[in-house]
């Protein structure tokens, strides 16, 4: 999963983010009122198709309901953070290290994430189950 801190409240996206989830979403903590640089860069790459406002409040808790264009932003941010390896697998050690204070059971989280492959934007939904199961405050 991904932890985005916007306006003083945490939102989870390894991913996206991202995580998402769990990874996910996995963007790290950002300063209040700012979007993480990786996420901001990916939003910019959408040429206005996704805005900061659309990202606020999105979590992987209900991953099935997240629009594809937002999942693509989360995947992009995870790629930029190098949480997704060349084979599509999530670097679980890196993701877990980034989210260690947000995860209830680090070993369970790693085990949940180890077989997930992120090949396309829709695959970001796969981390939602790990997010719901292992994050302290989903």
Question: Cβ–Cβ contacts within 10 Å for residue 30, how many?
Answer: 18
d(Cα 35, Cα 135) in Å, to the nearest integer? Answer: 21
Residues 78-101, mean pLDDT to the nearest whole number: 90
What's the pLDDT score for residue 111?
A: 94
Give the pLDDT score at 72.
Answer: 94
* Domains delineated in the chain: 3-134 (1.10.238)
- The mean pLDDT of the chain is 75
Half-sphere exposure of residue 20: CA atoms within 13 angstroms, side-chain side: 33
CA distance 130 to 104: 11
What's the confidence (pLDDT) of residue 61?
67
Nearest to 89 by CA among 48, 108, 117, 111: 117
Would you give the end-to-end CA distance of the chain in angstroms?
A: 10
What per-residue confidence (pLDDT) applies to 8? 33
Residue 57 has pLDDT above 80, yes or no: no
Which parts of the chain are beta strand (E)? 3-6, 9-12
Does the pTM of the predicted model rise above 0.75?
no
For residue 18, say if its preceding peptide bond is cis, omega within 30 degrees of 0.
yes
């Amino acid at each position: 999963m991904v932890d985005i801190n916007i306006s003083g409240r945490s939102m989870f996206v390894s991913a996206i983010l991202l995580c998402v989830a769990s990874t996910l979403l996995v963007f790290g903590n950002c300063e209040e009122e700012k979007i993480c640089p990786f996420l901001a860069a990916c939003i910019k790459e959408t040429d206005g198709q996704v805005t900061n406002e659309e990202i606020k409040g999105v979590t992987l808790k209900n991953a099935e309901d997240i629009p594809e264009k937002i999942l693509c932003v989360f995947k992009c941010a995870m790629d930029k953070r190098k949480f997704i390896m060349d084979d599509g697998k999530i670097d679980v050690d890196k993701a877990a290290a980034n989210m260690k204070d947000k995860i209830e059971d680090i070993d369970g989280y790693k085990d949940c994430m180890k077989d997930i492959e992120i090949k396309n934007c829709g695959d970001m939904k796969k981390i939602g189950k790990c997010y719901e199961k292992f994050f302290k405050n989903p």
